[in-house]
Structure 1
Amino acid sequence: MEHSIMVVAALIGAGLAIGLAAVGASIGNGLVTSKFIEGLTRQPEAKNVLFINTLISVGLIEAVPIIAAVIAIVLLYANPLIK
């Protein structure tokens, strides 16, 4: 009985980790992209600097779901509480 409860808890935790990370990353990407477009319309001559900063920011934001996926995999397959 305890084993099945731990497996269900690990599955729910992994799903929440990946789901919330994906939602947070999509919100962050949307905000960064909207600010990029806003900055581009205000100062078109700063396009290259804004574009580079946007790419760096989006890359860092996209690292969050990847880390969450690794944590979810650890929860599912390398959980020391499930024997």
Structure 2
Amino acid sequence: MNEIIASTAIGVGIILAAAGLGSALGWGMICSKYIEGIARQPEMRAQLMGQMLFTGGLMEAFPMIVLGLSMWFIFANPFVAAVG
């Protein structure tokens, strides 16, 4: 049973790291396209900022969903229940 708990903890750590990396890369891409859009059409700055913040908010929701699933695996591990 300890192996299952340890393997789950390692898996959760990898999943959270991947979600954090994906979110950081997504924010980088969103912000770079925002700056590129301002460079092309400076008069669209306000509209582009609203779109950037909306899309960034959606991008930030993904790691929070992954965190919730990870907490479920840590505190209510279904693998331990299947063995025990």
Q: TM-score, normalised by structure 1?
A: 0.92
Runs of at least 5 residues in structure 1 that lack an aligned partner in the other structure: none
Match of 1:59 in 2: 57
- Gaps in structure 2 of 5+ consecutive residues: none
Partner of 2:42: 44
Instruction: Give the letter aligned to residue 43 of structure 2.
Output: E
| Aligned residues: CA RMSD | 0.9
Q: Which residue of 2 aligns with 1:6?
A: 4
- Structure 1: which 4+ aligned runs deviate by more than 2 Å? none
- What is the aligned partner in structure 1 of residue 14 from structure 2? 16
Q: Percent identity?
A: 33
Which amino acid in 2 is paired with 1:72?
Answer: S
Mapped partners of 1:59, 1:20: distance in 2: 18
